[in-house]
């Protein structure tokens, strides 16, 4: 009897999954569908204290991600990968990058550059709420893959896998030979995918969003950490604000698109 009930339950769950899949719209090439609904955004004080324990991070640096709260978003599509140098060059023929980095995320782009590319591609930049939902799923995970950091799951300062940034090759080179890392090819850390199958939402390059960090001071939100950032700054809830005209060799972006 128990075995029969278990079989019926399995069949029901399979049918339900098929129905849900059929209801989901087909995403454009290179994008995934993110269902609408609520998710846990931000970090509560106790969690922040816990993740900072044993690190050099200070709570005051991350206070802008508190408190933890429920936020709802509409369904949308988002790029599986950060926009690459090769993709960006199709938009701007004068774009240059180091040899062999065609599939690395484009960096040294301003918010204005990223916004212009997104519109050219028939897309837009994600809001920070959309970005965080795509990164951490509906269950409020700390990193895209779960709650425990692994240096082999993302290109952060701990991984040491990025290779050296090449001095003079980028328009603005901040690291010189002092940092033991650089960007890696998009998708180089498949174990670090989010629950929706999105790559590099922790590390590699900070990603511009469409949201204001501080509109009065004209600062836009960046998300995700970078190859220069430590693990604690690559958590899905971390927020960074910078002026839309600023560039850095660890600032990049990915695009989103309405699903309705």
- What domains can you pick out in the chain, each with its CATH number? 28-258 (3.90.1580.10)
Rounded Cα distance, 112 and 215, in Å: 15
What pLDDT score was predicted for residue 168? 42
- What is the CA angle 193-236-184, rounded to 5? 50
What pLDDT score was predicted for residue 6? 46
Question: Which pTM does this prediction carry?
Answer: 0.85
What pLDDT score was predicted for residue 167? 42
What pLDDT score was predicted for residue 61? 87
Non-local (6+) Cβ contacts of 184 within 8 A are: 104, 155, 161, 162, 163, 204, 227
- State the pairing for strand pair 206-214/37-41: unpaired
What pLDDT score was predicted for residue 17? 42
Place of tokens 């978003």: 73
Q: Running along the chain, 260 residues long, what does each successive block of 10 average in pLDDT?
A: 48 45 83 95 88 81 90 97 97 91 93 98 98 93 94 89 52 42 89 97 97 97 94 94 93 94
- What is the CA angle 75-72-190, rounded to 5? 60
- What is the CA angle 245-247-249, rounded to 5? 170
What pLDDT score was predicted for residue 228? 87
């Amino acid at each position: 009897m128990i075995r029969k009930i278990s079989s019926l339950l399995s069949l029901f769950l399979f049918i339900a999954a098929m129905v849900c899949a059929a209801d989901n719209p087909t995403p454009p090439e290179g994008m995934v569908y993110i269902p609408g609904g609520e998710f846990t955004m931000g970090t509560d004080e106790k969690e922040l204290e816990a993740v900072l324990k044993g690190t050099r991070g200070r709570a005051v640096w991350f206070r802008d991600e508190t408190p933890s709260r429920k936020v709802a978003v509409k369904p949308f599509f988002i790029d599986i990968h950060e926009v690459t140098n090769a993709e960006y060059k199709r938009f701007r023929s004068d774009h240059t990058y180091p040899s062999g980095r065609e599939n690395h995320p484009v960096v040294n782009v301003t918010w204005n550059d990223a916004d212009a590319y997104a519109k050219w591609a028939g897309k837009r930049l994600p809001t920070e709420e959309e970005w965080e939902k795509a990164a951490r799923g509906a269950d409020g995970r700390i990193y895209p893959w779960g709650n425990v950091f692994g240096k082999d799951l993302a290109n952060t300062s701990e991984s040491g896998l990025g290779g050296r940034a090449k001095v003079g090759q980028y328009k603005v080179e901040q690291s010189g030979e002092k940092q033991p890392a650089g960007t890696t090819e998009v998708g180089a850390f498949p174990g670090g995918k989010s629950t929706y199958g999105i790559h590099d939402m922790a590390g590699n390059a900070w990603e511009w969003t469409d949201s204001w960090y501080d509109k009065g001071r004209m600062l836009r939100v960046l998300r995700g950490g970078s190859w220069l950032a430590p693990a604690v700054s690559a958590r899905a809830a971390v927020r960074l604000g910078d002026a839309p005209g600023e560039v850095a060799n660890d600032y990049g972006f990915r695009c989103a698109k309405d699903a309705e």
